[in-house]
Homo-oligomer: A and B are copies of this chain.
Amino acid sequence: MLVVMQKNASEEKINAVINAVEKRGYTARPIPGGERVSIGILHNKGSVDADHFLGFDGVKEVIPVTKPYKLVSREFKQENTCIGIGDAVFGNGSLPVIAGPCAVESENQILSIANSVKAAGAKLLRGGAFKPRTSPYSFQGLGKKGLELLAKARKETGLPIVTEAMDVETFDLVEEYADVIQIGARNMQNFSLLRRAGKSVKPVILKRGMSALLQEWLMAAEYIMEEGNNRVILCERGVRTFVKHSRNTLDLSVVSAVKKESHLPIIVDPSHAAGVREQVICLSYACAALGADGVMIEVHNHPEEAMSDGAQSLYPEQFKAVMEKMKAIHAIVGK
C-alpha cells in the first residue's frame, strides 16, 4: 500500500502516518518524490485497510498495491483449477453446458426438458427448487418437491443437477440432492451462506452480484475456499448499468480478467443478463468464442407458459441449434 501525502505536508504529519503504520506492526518506507512524499507500507500479512489512513491530516490519497485475496489468486496457484462433475470438466479448456428451466414446475416439465437438453449435448441439468424472488407474491419454487423431481430427472438422464441454495436453513436439504450448489447473485455477499458452502463437499457455482467488483467477487470465493472447499466455479450473469435494452449488461471482459487474477474456472449465464431470447442466442455464441469455461442456458419446453423467466428461455429445438454452433465455435477457439 502507498500513502501519498499532500504537497505541503509537514514533517510532523508525515511522522504521524509513519507512527500509525508501525503501531500496526507494519514497516513504513517513505519515498520522497519531486514534489511530495509517499509512504510505502510493507511486511503486512493479509491486507491493510486502505481507508484507515485516508483520515489522517496531510494525506492526499491511499493506493492499495497488493490484492487482498490469497487462496483464489493466480499468484498463489499458477495452474488452472479443474473441477470434474459427471462427464463435465470445468477449467480444462472444454466448454461444458448447463441447461434447464429457471424453476422446476412439474415432473412432466423437468423430465421433458432434461431429456431434450441431454440429447442436445448439455452435460448438467439446472432447475430451481428454492427461488429467490423480488416479490413475496411471486412463485417461490416447489421446495423439497422440486429437489425430488430433479433427482428423478437425474436418474432418468444421468445428468448431474445444479440447483440453488438460498439460505443456511435449507442448505442441508439442497446439499443432499444437488451435485453442484448454486449461490445466487443476491447472496454473493451473504457471508454466513458462503461459510456454509465452504464446509460442503459439493462443488459450488458462485454467481457474481449485480454490482460486484471483480475483487469483491473473488473475496466472496475466498470465503468459501477459506473454509476448505476448493471447488468453486465463478459465474458471470450480467451487471446492473444504466442500460435499458437488456435486463442487465453481460460483462464479457470479466472472463479474461478473472483468468488473469485467479485459477478458478469461470462460466457465463447469458440468459439472466439478456432477458430476451434473441439476445441469449447471440450472447451464447459470444461466450463460446471468448474462452469461457462453460455456459449456463435456460431452456423450457413451453416458454410461453413458464412460471418465471419465460421470455429468456430457449425452445428445445433452438437450444439444439445453439449447441451445435457453440461446439463448432469452441473447436476453433479452444484447444
Contacts and interface: CB of A to CB of B under 8 A. Distances in A.
A211 to B, nearest CB: 4
16 contacts: A7-B75, A38-B65, A47-B135, A51-B312, A166-B192, A186-B190, A214-B243, A214-B245, A239-B249, A241-B251, A246-B251, A246-B253, A252-B286, A260-B278, A283-B290, A286-B286
A112 to B, nearest CB: 18
Interface in A282-321: 282-283, 285-291, 303-304, 306, 308-313
B166 A191 contact: yes
A134 B219 contact: yes
Contact of A249 (B55, B65, B251, B304): B251
Nearest to A198: B136
Given A34-B43, A251-B249, A283-B290, A244 B190 contact: no
B168 A55 contact: no
Interface in A160-179: 166-169
A31 interface: yes
A133 B211 contact: no
Contacts of A138: 47, 49
Given A55-B276, A222-B135, A285-B290, A35 B254 contact: no
A294 to B, nearest CB: 15
A128 interface: no
Interface in A231-290: 239-246, 249-257, 260, 273-279, 282-283, 285-290
Given A250-B253, A273-B253, A241 B242 contact: yes
Interface in A126-147: 132-138
B55 A303 contact: yes
Copies of this subunit: 4
A133 to B, nearest CB: 7
Contacts of A119: none
A93 to B, nearest CB: 14
B136 A222 contact: yes
Interface of A: 2, 4, 6-7, 20, 29, 31, 33-36, 38, 40, 42-43, 46-47, 49, 51-56, 61, 63, 65-66, 68-69, 75, 132-138, 166-169, 186-187, 189-193, 209-211, 213-216, 219, 222-223, 226, 239-246, 249-257, 260, 273-279, 282-283, 285-291, 303-304, 306, 308-313, 325, 328-329, 332-333
Q: A75, A222, A332 — which one has the most chain B CB atoms within 10 A of its CB?
A: A332
Closest 9 CB pairs of A and B: A55-B311, A211-B211, A286-B286, A289-B289, A167-B192, A285-B289, A54-B311, A245-B257, A186-B189
Nearest to A238: B253
A50 to B, nearest CB: 9
Contacts of A65: 2, 4, 33, 38, 61, 63
Contacts of A56: 304
A263 B298 CA distance: 29
A287 B252 CA distance: 11
Given A56-B304, A243-B239, A46 B137 contact: yes
